[in-house]
Amino acid sequence: MAAFNVNLDALIEREDFESGEAIGAGSDEPRFRLNELHRSAMYFKVLRKPDFQRATDNWTPTLIVDFVQSFVDDELIPSIILWQSKQTGKVFVIDGAHRISALISWVNNDYGNGDISKKFFKYDIPAKQRKFDSVIREQMESRIGNYEKLAQAINFAAASCRCIKRV
C-alpha cells in the first residue's frame, strides 16, 4: 500500500525513544507555531519521531492537500500527542506524525522531493515519488498557495500597516 502513497518519512527525523521524566501536561514547551516547522527553526531541529513509529508514507496527495486546507480553514484537527525528553530537550511525536509531516511539507515546500527529502534519501527519489511531489505542489499552489509567499505577503502587510499614520 505504501508504494502508492506519498513518502514524507524524511520530514521528521527518527531517534531512539528515551525513557525519562516527561514534562508536565500543563507545560507550554511542546507546543509550536506553524513557522516553527521551517527547517531553519529551532523547534523543527528538536522534533523527532520515535523509532517504533510506522513510516510516514500512508497518505495520498489529495489527503495531504485536504489536510493542509483544513488547517488553513481553521477546521477541527484531531489532537497531536507530543512528549519532550527532559534529558535531551527533544520533542517526540507520539501521535500525529502524518498530520505534522503534512504541515512541514507545506512550510518547507517539500512533498517528498524537496531539499529535506533529497538529503534524507541521498538524492535517490523514485519516479513515482517525484510525480506525487509535482501533483501536490500544483494542487497546493492552486488551492492554498505557497507557504513562503503567503508568509511574506502577511509580513509585508503587517509592516505596511505599522507605517501608516492615523490622521
pLDDT tens-digit map of 103-153? 999 999 999 999 999 998 888 898 999 999 999 999 999 999 999 888 887
Q: How far is Cα 43 from Cα 96, in angstroms, rounded to an integer? A: 16
| Number of structural domains in the chain | 1
Q: pTM for the whole thing?
A: 0.79
The pLDDT, as a whole number, for residue 30 is: 47
The torsion angles phi and psi of 86, rounded to 5 degrees, stand at -70, -20
Could you tell me the residue range of the domain that residue 92 belongs to?
A: 2-163
